[in-house]
Chains A and B, each alone.
Chain A
Amino acid sequence: MDPLASGITRLKVADVELELFHKGAGRPLLILHGGGGLDHRSEYLDLLAAHFEVFAPSHPGFGHSPLPERFESVDDLAYLYLDLLDACDLKDAVLIGFSLGGWIAAELAVRCAHRLSKLVLVGAVGIKVSDRETRDIPDIFATAPDDVARLVFHDPARAAVDFGALTDEELTIIARNRESLALYTWEPYMHNPGLRYQLHRIHIPTLFIRGASDGLISQKYAEAYAALIPGARLEVIAEAGHLPQIEQPRKFADRVVSFARQ
C-alpha cells in the first residue's frame, strides 16, 4: 500500500472487506471509531494526518464495510484488527480507540501488542466496575434520543441533525451503524466481564482521555479503567463530552501528538 495515498479506499484483510480512511505519512496511527461510525470529514482526522499515516477503518457493519455473517462480537473485531496490523505490516503503531473502538483497542492490546508502541483510549467502554444492580454505562438503547444526545455532547446543539438534509444513503448508514452497535454491545451490555482481569497485560504506554462532560463514561469509571492498565494516565478535556475529538479537535490532536512523541 502506497503510504502517500489519501482519502477513502477499500482494504481486504483476509476474507473481510473494509472501508478505510487512509491519509498522511509517518508513524502509523490506527484509529478505531466508536458507535456513531466514522465521519471522514472530521477535522481531527486531518489534524492527525499531518503527523501520522492514519488508518481509520469502518468496522464491519458500519459505514460501507460489509458485515460478514460470522461477525458478532468485539472479540471478532479485535482479531480482525490484529490481522490488519499484520496485513499492512504496521510497526511502532499508535492505536487510538473511541468508545466501542476503545474497547476493541483494549482487547487487541491485551492479546498482542508487539506492533504497537502507544495506546490511546478515548471514552472507552468495555469493562464492568460496579455491582450487579448498577449499570456503569447508561442504556443508550433504552434512552430517548434527545436524552442520549445530552449524555454524549457537552454542547447539545451539536446533536441536532437535520435528517431532511441527508441523503437516503447517509440516513441508511446512520441506521445501520446503530444496528451494528447493538449487535456488538448488547449483552453483556457494553462490556466484557473478563477484560478487567486482563488489562494488566498491557505493557505499552497508555493514555486514557475523557471529556469532562461525558455522560456515558463517568470520571469514576474512567479512573477505574485507567488504574487497571499498568502506568496508564488519565487526562480530561474540558468542554467536551463523549466525543472530545469532535468537540475539541485541536486540543485532542495536540494531546495525541505530544503523547506519541514522549
Chain B
Amino acid sequence: MKTWFFSETAYPYLPESYESIRVILPNRIYDPKIGADLYHRYLDEWLHAEDAGLEIMLNEHHQTATCLDPAAPVILGALARQTTRARLLILGNPIANRRQPVRVAEEMAMVDNLARGRLEVGFVRGVPYEISAVNSSPVRMSERFWEAHDLIMKAWTTHDGPFNWEGRYFHHRQVNIWPRPYQEPHPPVWVTSLSTGSIGPIADHRYVAATFLTGRDGSKQIFEAYRERAGERGWSAPNDRFAYAALVYVGETDEEGFAGARKLMWYIESNRVAPQFINPPGYVPAAAVAKAMRNGGSLYKYDKPDLQNLIANGIVFAGNPDTVFGQIKRFYDYNGGFGHLLVMGQAGFLDHRETVRGIDLLAREVYPRLKELN
C-alpha cells in the first residue's frame, strides 16, 4: 500500500459565526501576512512528509477558507522543484469547471517534466460549491468532464503535429502542446468517485478510483462496483486501483491520537455552507434530490460529528500506532483491499509541531505495516 500525505491548506482564523464558509465569505477576513506564512508552512509539511518516506497529494478548492489552493498546478510547480523523490498526486483538476482542457494538459505536462516523471494526475468533478467560481453549469457536468478528459488525453498523446477539436463543449483549433508529458504514454490517472453511478467509465479506463471520506459502506459500494465492472469487461482490478482518503492522526498514545484527530475534525465542523450552494440543480440526479426534499432538506447533513462515530465509520483513523493500524486493517478487510491511503494529516489548528509529529509516527510506526498489506 502507498500512503500519501495531504492537507487542504486552510486558513482557519475565522469569525465565531458565518453564514457560509464557501463561496460568499468575504476575503477581507484573510490576512495576507498570515496567509503567506501558512503557504510556506504547508509546503514545509509536504517536504517533511517526503523526507519521512510518504508520497504527496494536494487538491484544489475555490472561494473558501477551507483551502487556500484555487490553482493546484501552481503549488505543484513549487513541489516539483523542491521535492526529489516523492510522487506528486493532484486530486484533482476539476475538469468539468476548467474552460480550456488544453491548458490543463499543458500544466500537467509542465509539472511532469519539472518533476521528472513523478506526477500522478487526478481528474475530479469537484464538490458542488465549486461551480460559482467558474460560472460552471451544474447540469451535464459529467458530459463536460468526459469530453474534457478525452481532449486532454488526446493532447497528451498526440506527437505528430496539431489536431482540431470541435466538440459539444470545447472547441480548439490547433492542439499541439509543448512540452509533452515526461511519462510515457502519460502520467497515471486517478478519478475521484463519490457514488456508484460514476464508476463505470473510471473502471473502463482502468484509472485509480479514489473515494474521499465516504466511510466504510460508501467506499465498499464504490470499490465493489468497480470490481464488478472490471469483471464484466474481462479483467481483474488489482488493489492499486483503489484509493481511500481519511482524516488520520497517529499519536504516541491513543489519547494523543484522539486529541490530534479532534483538531483535524475542524475540517468537518467548519464546513457550514448556505443551502443554495450545497445542492445546485443537476449536480445529483433529480430522484436523489426528491429524497432529500422529503427528508427535510440537505443532502449533506452533518450532525455534530462525534470522534468515535467517525472512527467507527472509517472517516477518521486515530490513536496510537497499533490502534490506527488496526482501524485501517479492519477497513481494508471490509472493503476487499485497497492500495492507496490518502492521509489528511493536517487541518484547522493542528499546528506545525503536531502535524510533523503525526507524520513521523505514521511513517515510522504504521506505514511499514501497511506496506505489508497487499
Contact = CB atoms under 8 A, between A and B. Distances in A.
Interface string A126-164: 000000000000000111110000000000000000011
A214 to B, nearest CB: 20
A-side interface mostly: helix
A33 B157 CA distance: 48
Contacts of B281: 141, 175, 178-179, 181-182
Contacts of A187: 135, 137
A172 B291 CA distance: 8
Interface in A161-200: 163-164, 166, 168, 171-176, 178-183, 186-187
A163 B275 contact: no
Interface residues of A, number: 24
A182 B276 CA distance: 13
A163 B291 CA distance: 10
B140 interface: yes
A182 B275 contact: no
A172 B290 contact: yes
B26 interface: no
Given A141-B281, A142-B132, A182-B281, A171 B293 contact: yes
Nearest to B279: A175
Contacts of A173: 286
Interface string B237-275: 000000000000000000000000000000000000011
B289 interface: yes
Interface of A: 72, 141-145, 163-164, 166, 168, 171-176, 178-183, 186-187
Nearest to A187: B135
B30 interface: no
A142 B23 CA distance: 10
A175 B289 contact: yes
B282 A182 contact: yes
Interface of B: 23, 132, 135, 137-140, 274-277, 280-282, 286-287, 289-291, 293-294, 296
A171 B177 CA distance: 47
B357 to A, nearest CB: 42
Contacts of A163: 293-294, 296
A174 B277 contact: no
A145 B296 CA distance: 13
Contacts of A166: 294
A172 B132 CA distance: 24
A194 to B, nearest CB: 19
B277 A142 contact: yes
Given A172-B286, A175-B293, A183-B137, 10 more contacts: A144-B274, A144-B276, A168-B287, A172-B289, A173-B286, A175-B290, A179-B282, A181-B281, A182-B138, A187-B135
Nearest to B280: A141
B127 to A, nearest CB: 16
A199 to B, nearest CB: 26
Nearest to A170: B290
B135 A175 contact: no
Given A183-B282, A186-B139, A144 B293 contact: no
The 9 closest A-B pairs by CB, nearest first: A171-B290, A175-B289, A175-B286, A176-B286, A179-B282, A186-B137, A182-B281, A172-B290, A178-B281
Contacts of B289: 171-172, 175, 178
Contacts of A183: 137, 139-140, 282
A143 B274 CA distance: 9
A182 B282 CA distance: 8
Nearest to B135: A187
- Interface core residue of B23, B275, B286, B287 (most chain A CB under 10 Å): B286
A180 to B, nearest CB: 8
A144 B275 contact: yes
B132 A179 contact: no
Contacts of A72: 140
B294 A171 contact: yes
